[in-house]
Amino acid sequence: MATAWRRLIRRAATSPGRLTTLTAAVVVLAVAFGLAGVLTMRAGVGLVSDVTDRSGPLSLQAQDIYRSLSDADATAASAFLANGVEPAELRKRYLDDIARASSALTAALHNAEGRSAAALGVLVRQIPVYTGLVESARTYNRQGIPLGGAYLREASALMRQTILPAAQDLFRAEAARLGDAQRAVARWPWTVTLLGLALLGVLLLTQLYVTRLTNRRLNRGMVLATVAALVACGWLAVASAGAAGHISEGRDAGSEQVGLLAEARITALQARADEGLTLIARGDGKAFEQDFTAMMERLAGQDGLLQRARDQAPDAAARSAVEAAQRHAADWLAIHRQVRSLDDGSRHAEAVTLATSGDASAAAAAGRLDAALAEGIAGSGRHFDREAAGAGDALGGADVAVALLALAVAAAAAFGLNQRIAEYR
């Protein structure tokens, strides 16, 4: 055994032995680089797929659950102000909101895990309790029994203290998971980059050695191997940078803007519910009015959600949608002050009419605000989808290309060096 090792060491110390060792090193590095490149590109495709097919849709479902439940609460309060049989359009809107939330809840249950699953469990248990309380309030209201107001306040308390916080937990958990997936796509593939640089370094050193050894400037096989390695490294760099750029743009101008506008929309819906509950309380709604003021400050204040959304709007269309929302919020506040003036002046019926009926009502202004926010969300969502698709396109075919180029590096280098080794036989 010792004799065999000595012969092997002596063989490795000769010129053909060194060339054989260099051939093995290039082939091993090329295969390692190719394997790492394939795994990295496929992992990137999987992460982009998670963004587009799982994390993104789940985040939207969570947002839809939150918005639908907030709107249901606000609509139930508005319908109750009818003092009897509520308007058919409000009844339909409430039922549509509950159905939409239930549908999104069912879809989210299939892919939820951890914190999201816990939040969904709360929603599954408590939404039927809420709808039961609303139906009790509705029954008493149709009969003209004041007890209906108590049931509606209890329902709204359940919504605000238990259901909406759970929906918010769900939304935040899914938004965090989406953010993690986006950051993972945008992360630079350092492992395969270092392997690629090592491969290029070994190829260059090997060519210098062969040049000094044989007095020949070029070895065609090694030149082809170096070109293939450069193309592979370039392809990986361009694909990775392209995917990272698209995902970063989709996050900054898409999902983050959607998150801000969705939060603004939900805040506006909570304020609308507060406005209705203040009138339902008939002089005993100070807490609801205070909450309305806080919600509107959070929404339309100097550093509120709408101003932040306007400041970071990615383009003129997005900025225009937010500016329209700001105008509608200002209109709503002006009408709300009139509503409060009428209600505080013992003109409750007129206050209810101004709050709920006609194009000049608070409800109409709040509706226009909601529509503007919905338009902004839709526009930012389309931007996110385009950028996510662009990230997928940037990575498309990169794994196959890198695998083939890595094999070409190994084959070309082995061919070129074996020609030199054969000269010693």
Lookup: tokens for 406:
């890595």
> Please, which pLDDT band fits residue 15 given cuts at 50, 70 and 90?
low
**Phi, psi at residue 423, to the nearest 5°?**
-65, -20
Span 221-249, average pLDDT = 87
pLDDT at 326: 92
7 vs 71, more confident: 71
Mean pLDDT on 113-136: 86
Q: Residues 274-289: pLDDT tens digits?
A: 888 788 777 676 888 8
DSSP annotation string for 175-220 = HHHHHHHHHHHHS--HHHHHHHHHHHHHHHHHHHHHHHHH--S--H
**pLDDT tens string 72-94:** 888 887 777 766 667 788 888 88
> Residue 169: which of 127, 121, 130, 131 has the closest Cα?
121
Position 215 scores a pLDDT of 66
Residue 8's pLDDT band (cuts 50, 70, 90): very low
The SS3 of residue 145 is coil
- The mean predicted confidence, pLDDT, of the chain is 82
pLDDT at residue 331 in the model: 92
pLDDT at 64 over 50: yes
Q: What is the mean pLDDT of residues 200-219?
A: 78
pLDDT at 6 (0 to 100): 54
Sign of the CA dihedral running 133, 138, 144, 150: positive
pLDDT of residue 404: 92
Give 160-180 pLDDT, tens digit per residue.
Answer: 889 888 888 888 887 777 777
Please return the burial class of 302, using the count of CB atoms within 10 Å of its CB with bins 0-12, 13-18 and 19+: exposed
Task: Say which residue, 293 or 215, is predicted with more confidence.
Answer: 293
The per-type count for the chain, helices as H runs and strands as E runs, is 16, 0
